[in-house]
Amino acid sequence: MSSEPEKGMTSKQAFKMEYSIIGLGLFALILIFQPFSIALFSIGCMLVVLAGLVNNILPLAQPGVKVSSVITTAMVVAMIFCIVLLVAIWAAYLYGKFLLAAPNPDTAAGKVMLAATPFYMHPFVWSVAAIAAALACLIWWRSKKA
């Protein structure tokens, strides 16, 4: 690591970053509206969500903006996404708990539903929570380091 301060992006780098973000969104839309493959449609749907998140860093695609601030902003956006995802899972659980009829234990489907693992025991939920916590720690560490 050098002691010289980090310089911002050049206009060429900012231009490439801006058009890469826009290109990602356009590519995702092309994949969604192609009529050939359901797998490409699925990939396009995932890329639309990613492009929507990456669009949050589009205002930073300016000459002179430090790359470290772009990385920090991307980490903040990812952390917020993880937190919103956890809140959405929790809200869906509460919706099912309070607004839907309880499963009938006399039916096969009811027995399966009653034996299902609660949402807070699934590895996916804990993985998203761990990612959110790790991103929060990294953001805090980067702010202390700067």
Q: What is the mean pLDDT of residues 16-45?
A: 95
When pLDDT is cut at 50, 70 and 90, the band that residue 1 belongs to is very low
85-113 confidence digits (pLDDT tens) = 999 999 998 998 888 888 889 999 989 98
Q: What is the pLDDT of residue 5?
A: 60
Angstrom CA distances, 102 to 29, 110, 114, stand at: 40, 8, 9
Q: Which residue's structure tokens are 């991307």?
A: 74
What is the C-alpha separation between 13 and 61, in angstroms, rounded? 8
Query: What is the residue extent of each domain of the chain?
Result: 1-65, 66-146
Contact assessment for residue 32 and residue 48, using Cβ atoms and an 8 Å cutoff: yes
Q: pLDDT tens digit string along 61-81?
A: 999 999 999 999 999 999 999
Q: Please tell me whether the overall predicted TM-score, pTM, comes out greater than 0.85 for this model.
A: no
Separation of alpha carbons 131 and 146, rounded Å: 22
